[in-house]
A and B are shown apart, each in its own frame.
Chain A
Amino acid sequence: MKFKSLLSRGRVRTAARRVASDPSPGNYVALAQAHASAGELQDVIKVCIEGLALHPRQPDLERLRERATALIREDRVRDLQRELKRSPRPALWRELCEVQLAAGRLARAEKVAVEWFEQSGEAEAQLFRARARAERFFADRRRDDARAALDLLEAVLQADPGQDEALRLSLSITSRCGAWNEARTLLARLLELCPGDPSLEARFRSVAAMAEGAPSLDQALREVERSGSFVDDEPESDRSAPSQAIRPLLQELAGRPGVQGAFYVRGGTALVQGPRGASAERYARGVRELLGSTRASCRRLGLGQLLEVQLEGRFGSLSSRPGALGAAALWGEGRPNLTTDEALAALVGNEEEVTS
């Protein structure tokens, strides 16, 4: 054991010397790996941060940092669970929930909160459960999650009417989905708790102005589930135009061997290369419908936001990818490949994703 430790320390020293003489990404990665072998996870993170400052977005360094952070978090989770078995107390439950939420493990966070509530019956446990559900709603946009979160928050408020965190979370859910009437009521309750708060008052006035003719909570949640976007999402029209012109890229793609059609859909407009006339219209409609239906299904199935859809059959293959600007699809012979992925990413403006 001692020999192993000496050996790893030697490796760390050698790697550090290499970084000093040549601070290349590869040398930073080697130093971080040497620290990881020595079990020095905090040092791994420090090296990765230093390396990323010099080489921003270096994928290996980012991956190592994430991995080290996750391992540290895992260790803390194990410690907390051990401690909770010995002497369960609110501070430990709270930290465990916070750690799971920070790691994005929403199901586990909810499970911990449920256990906490079953053991102690504390309203704070319900608040954490609501937070997990609300995070799930913000990620997946499923109305059932929003409903569950709001019900839990209402239970928290019944137990403790002065719980402003619960009110703020309810407000966040209702206002993000555009249920302005409910948001106005919640703001009024918040103002009772913090009378004269200028930011709350300003918000109350703007929400009150929008409340007339606003959809009900159920309608708003249904619309969010259907469209996959919140009212505070950046409108499509405000987003910047793609860096490259779409049509030449589509033409280039459609001209590649094995490609039968290339499509780009944004709002009500569809650009098609390959199929012509009425067929082009039918294909564009099909691609738009496919993306619409799969987007909702992806969230309902708990897979989160849709990144890509691929269909294969006797017709060949159709790969579609929604992006921030629009959605692109490529119809080709045979199976989809990496070139298809790159082309689609370029079309929807996600070039960085492919290069990383």
Chain B
Amino acid sequence: MKRVLDPLAHVPGIRRAVLISKDGVPITHIQSAQVAERSEEVHRDTADDLSAFAGMATGLLTEVHRSVDPMSWEDPERLVLSGARGTLVLHVTERVTLAVELERGMAPEELRLPMESVLDRLRRSLARMYAFRAAGAYSSNKFKQAAKLARRALTYNAGESSAQLIYDKVEAKVEGMMSQARSAKAGGKTRKAEKLLKTVMAILPSTDQRYREARKTLNQIMIDTAEEEDD
């Protein structure tokens, strides 16, 4: 994970770069020798301490969200705080925040490209991780979980081919189950059809066309069963 921050490692003027989880815990970081020295020896109780820094950066984001709430704006994606002794740049993504502290006089705009590069690396790395987990779930026949993980991988990186492969395989399974369910219903094997349709619904998101079709067919089966029982 530390290699994710590599594009920032050689940019001059960076005091530290920290990847912070949503709840304010530092995941990984790089820092200049000067900051490392200070952090160890003098200011354990201040922002020089990494955990405190991560906590304060997350607290700052919360405060900013609270401030922009009355404006009915979505949460900011980038925040630049310039002070007399340095600058803090926060880049917020869905799950993590990238915080970079700069020396005084450094232009935050120069960091835009390296920071985006770090976030791209992070997205690719997360996509690979989710694709790997999706493959594991698929081989254990946990199709619902496999589809969910593959979808998540694809949201991080639409070009993640292994995730796409798993997703295509799950899709093929769904197609097969749908046709089996249709023939089971036609053959009067309502229990089997019901089971297959429920599995399909568990795999697909509720927005999917086939989910709606499965739900409709399942409702139809339940109505038919109820009518038969009434007769």
Contacts and interface: CB of A to CB of B under 8 A. Distances in A.
Contact of B84 (A107, A285, A289, A304): A304
Contacts of B70: 282-283, 285-286, 289
Interface of B: 37-38, 41-43, 45-48, 53, 56-57, 59-60, 63-64, 66-88, 101, 108
B53 to A, nearest CB: 7
B81 A302 contact: no
A301 B52 CA distance: 9
Given A114-B42, A304-B83, A283 B71 contact: yes
Nearest to A261: B71
A62 to B, nearest CB: 14
A311 B78 contact: yes
B64 A311 contact: yes
A289 B66 contact: yes
A320 to B, nearest CB: 10
B15 to A, nearest CB: 10
Contacts of A139: 84-85
Contacts of A306: 81-83
Given A111-B41, A285-B70, A304-B83, 6 more contacts: A283-B70, A293-B67, A294-B60, A301-B83, A313-B75, A314-B73
A286 B68 contact: yes
Interface in A273-313: 282-283, 285-286, 289-290, 293-294, 297-313
B80 A309 contact: yes
A312 B78 contact: yes
Contacts of B68: 286, 290, 311, 318
Q: Give the residue among A294, A302, A309 with the most B Cβ atoms within 10 A.
A: A302
**Nearest 9 A-B pairs (CB), nearest first?**
A303-B83, A304-B84, A304-B85, A293-B63, A290-B67, A289-B67, A312-B78, A310-B80, A315-B73
A313 B73 contact: yes
Q: Give the residue among A114, A306, A313, A318 with the most B Cβ atoms within 10 A.
A: A313
B90 to A, nearest CB: 10
A302 B84 contact: no
